[in-house]
Amino acid sequence: MDKYERESTIKAEITFKVSGSNTDPYDNSVNVNVIRPNDTYMYSGATATRLDTGEYRYFISSNTSDMLGIYTIVWKAEHDVGGTQGLMPLVQRDYFQLVMYD
């Protein structure tokens, strides 16, 4: 797990793959939620930036008042599997830790 000091900018990235190949989610839309250690939202419904096919990024800015501990990044998108199944949800979680360095 990556560790950052308060007042850092965290570069969060994700790659979506289907059968080993990078694949964009439906409508190239990826939402990001960042959840604090106390289960409250730091960011809710933010939009990630597309870098390339299947690759997305979101910058998280922390400040001096952000609590120390483990934060959860929840990436949400949909994938069009076609046929009668249509859109299926894609959800992935990543984590980082805010720490205090001496």
Cα 52 → chain centroid: 16
Choice between 35 and 80, residue whose per-residue pLDDT is larger: 35
List of domains in the chain: 2-99 (2.60.40.1930)
Give the pLDDT of residue 98.
96
Distance CA 82, CA 86 (A): 5
21 has a pLDDT exceeding 70: yes
Strands of the sheet containing 69-80, edge to edge, are: 2-5, 87-99, 69-80, 31-35, 41-47
User: Do the Cβ atoms of 37 and 70 come closer than 8 Å?
Assistant: yes
Per-residue pLDDT of 55-86, as tens digits, reads: 999 999 999 999 999 999 999 998 887 777 78
What average pLDDT does the chain have? 92
Give the pLDDT of residue 101.
79
